[in-house]
Amino acid sequence: MRARESQINIRLNPRELRHLDTMARRSQLTRSAYIRLLVNGFRPKEAPPQDYYAMMREIHALGNNLNQLAYRANCTGEMDAIRIEAAITEIRQSIKSITTKVITPEPIAQDGQSAALSSQLTESLAKLIDTTTEWEE
């Protein structure tokens, strides 16, 4: 059984549809996934450039090498394990920061008015979905 059983249909003019398709394509999402993120209060980001993945692989490799050095330093006592551990932590934080900035969708800013509007939109969509589901039964 599908996790999402309810379906809604919306009407867009050609310009709106082109805009939705462009934004979804830039994010490498389907129309449905793009709209679901918006409804749930997130602004989808454009897909990262291909270089991003190559850079992340390199950073991961550096972190792995440092981790091996730290292990060896801890076993033999030949290196400054504290400094190596600090470098590993810094690399991990950099990876998380880069990923957050490039890939993770941002929550849509919620001031008092937009929070109320978002809440109303969510409630309206829920009612519409309930009504549509009732008609289908």
The domain spans of the chain are 1-45+107-137, 48-104
pLDDT at position 132 over 70: no
Looking at the whole model, is its pTM more than 0.95?
no
pLDDT in tens, 76-119: 877 777 777 777 788 888 888 887 777 777 777 666 555 565 55
Please give the pLDDT value at position 135: 41
**What 3 state SS string does the chain have?**
CCCCCCCCCCCCCHHHHHHHHHHHHHHCCCHHHHHHHHHCCEECCCCCCHHHHHHHHHHHHHHHHHHHHHHHHHHHCCCCHHHHHHHHHHHHHHHHHHHHHHCCCEECCCCHHHHHHHHHHHHHHHHHHHHHHHHHC
Please give the pLDDT value at position 24: 93
